[in-house]
Amino acid sequence: MNMKPELSWGIIAVVIALFLALFFSIEAGIYVLLFALVANWVWKSPEESFLLLIIIAPLLPLLKATQTLGNLTLIKDVIIITLFLKTFFVPLIEQRLPYRKNLLFAPIVALVLWSLFEVLQGGSTLAILRFREIVLYILMYFGVLYLSHTKKIMRTRAIVFGTTVVIVMLLGIFQFWFAPDSTVLRFDPARMIWIPRMASTFGHPTVFAEYLITGMMLILGILLARTKISQLVKYKLYGVLLVSVILLYFTYTRAGWIGCAGGVVALFIAWMFSGKTYRVNMKSIAVIVIALIVVFVGALRFTPVGTFLQTAIDPTYASNADRISFVVQLISQTSNADALVGKGLGNVITEARKGGDVSAVDIASGDSRTVQLSKDSTLVDNQYLKTFMEMGVVGIVFTFWLFWRFFLAAQKATPALRLAGIGFLVAFMIQALFVDIWDVFPTNGIFWTLAALISQSKIGKGA
CB 386 within 8 A of CB 343: no
Residue 248: CB atoms within 10 Å = 22
Distance CA 30, CA 27 (A): 5
Counting residues of the chain whose pLDDT is more than 70, the rounded percentage is 68
Distance CA 107, CA 406 (A): 10
* pLDDT (tens digit per residue) in 357-412: 555 444 444 445 555 555 555 667 788 988 988 899 999 999 999 999 999 999 98
CB 80 within 8 A of CB 139: yes
Burial class (CB in 10 A: 0-12, 13-18, 19+), 430: buried
User: CB within 8 A of 299, min separation 6: which ones?
Assistant: 249, 305, 306
Question: What are the C-alpha distances in Å from 373 to residues 98, 339, 364, 379, 392?
Answer: 41, 26, 16, 10, 24
- Where are the alpha helices (H) located in 71-150, listed in sequence order? 75-84, 90-93, 105-122, 125-145
**Predicted local confidence at residue 17, as pLDDT:** 56
* pLDDT (tens digit per residue) in 397-455: 999 999 999 999 999 888 899 999 999 999 999 999 888 888 888 899 999 999 999 98
Average pLDDT, rounded, for the chain: 79
Mean pLDDT of 224-241: 86
pTM over 0.85: no
Helix or strand run (H / E) with residue 372: helix 368-376
DSSP type of residue 247: H
